[in-house]
Homo-oligomer: A and B are copies of this chain.
Amino acid sequence: MIYTYLGPAGTFTEAALLQVPEARDSERIPAANVNAALELVRTGEADAAMVPIENSVEGGVSTTLDAIATGEPLQIMREALVTISFVLAVRSNIDTIDQIRSVATHGHAWAQCRGWAESNMPNAEFIPASSTAAGALGLLEDETSHDAAICSPLVAEERGLKVLRTSIEDNAGAVTRFVLVARPGPIPAPTGVDKSTVILPLSEDRPGALMDILEQFVVRGVNLSRIESRPTGEGMGKYFFSVDVDGHLAQERVADALSGLHRVCPNLRFLGSYPAAEGLSSSVDAHNSDAAFSKAQDWVSGLTARLATS
């Protein structure tokens, strides 16, 4: 197995990938961006890609949401949660925060530490970096002009960077959710605590179109744990929804909801059923259990067996 991930090495995405036992001793290729990582999978150069899909503070990762919603079909095999915490690393000649005139980091990291930065180093200029690791490694180079970087504790430790402050994120406990994406193949067997992801383009722009979609879930008691709207790119007001539900395709209420969704939304895309990284919040009513579906189907089959042959 060859794995790829949103690089460079030492970011939170690699930390997520290292949660996959098989990945620890396999080849791990850092990719320049999410699309590049997914392209390696689509072409077969890698078997699976770990990419971020949602951050508890910043929200959905648009690039990933869009990239797996269109193009050659892909499948989510598993998810991983990583708690996000940042450190302030500095050049070796910097000793206090007051000395910092510029700080480099990725835009997303900056967004998560901006409150702290504006309070503690209001005069420091933000220099956008292509990744937190890139900003951090720049501190080791002579030609780089920035004095500090906001990066992951991992990269600071691995590269022996001088750290002035830890846990500088504005929201302690922020979590990023990553998904391991592969070419479509076998769907992992249900573990009892599973999720499924589906892409639902809104076919019509009319009152109630979203309701029609949601009703297909509600009428079978399927809980939505995530819903994200994204533009299709075909013009303002044209959306698709990226939705996670509690439950597995192997469960009748999920399969039945998918069947209903296919009717009202024929261009939907099923992205997979896989173990949930955290426990699920919802319970299933007796009348939405597999047993209830099975009995109902048996009953209807008994009726249709009586249909006269015309």
Contacts and interface: CB of A to CB of B under 8 A. Distances in A.
A296 interface: yes
Contact of A262 (B56, B171, B260, B295): B295
B187 A307 contact: yes
A307 B63 CA distance: 28
B56 A263 contact: no
Identify the 5 closest CB pairs spanning chains A and B, nearest first. A189-B310, A262-B296, A128-B128, A186-B308, A207-B223
Given A219-B260, A236-B54, A62 B63 contact: no
A31 interface: no
A126 interface: yes
A184 B57 CA distance: 26
A266 interface: yes
A264 interface: yes
Interface in A245-267: 249-250, 255, 258-260, 262-264, 266
A59 to B, nearest CB: 5
A235 B35 contact: no
B205 A57 contact: no
A71 to B, nearest CB: 11
Interface stretch (A9-17, A40-48, A86-94, A286-294): A286-294
Contact of A235 (B173, B264, B307): B173
Contact of A270 (B35, B259, B287, B303): B303
Interface residues of A, number: 90
Interface string A274-310: 0000100110000110001101110110011011111
Given A188-B308, A215-B215, A281-B205, A300 B231 contact: no
Contacts of A167: none
Contact of A187 (B59, B214, B295, B303): B303
A233 interface: yes
Q: Which of A278, A296, A304 has the most CB of B within 10 A?
A: A296
A111 to B, nearest CB: 7
A230 interface: yes
B310 A233 contact: no
Contacts of A237: 225-226, 281
A293 B292 CA distance: 21
A28 interface: no
A87 to B, nearest CB: 20
B130 A130 contact: no
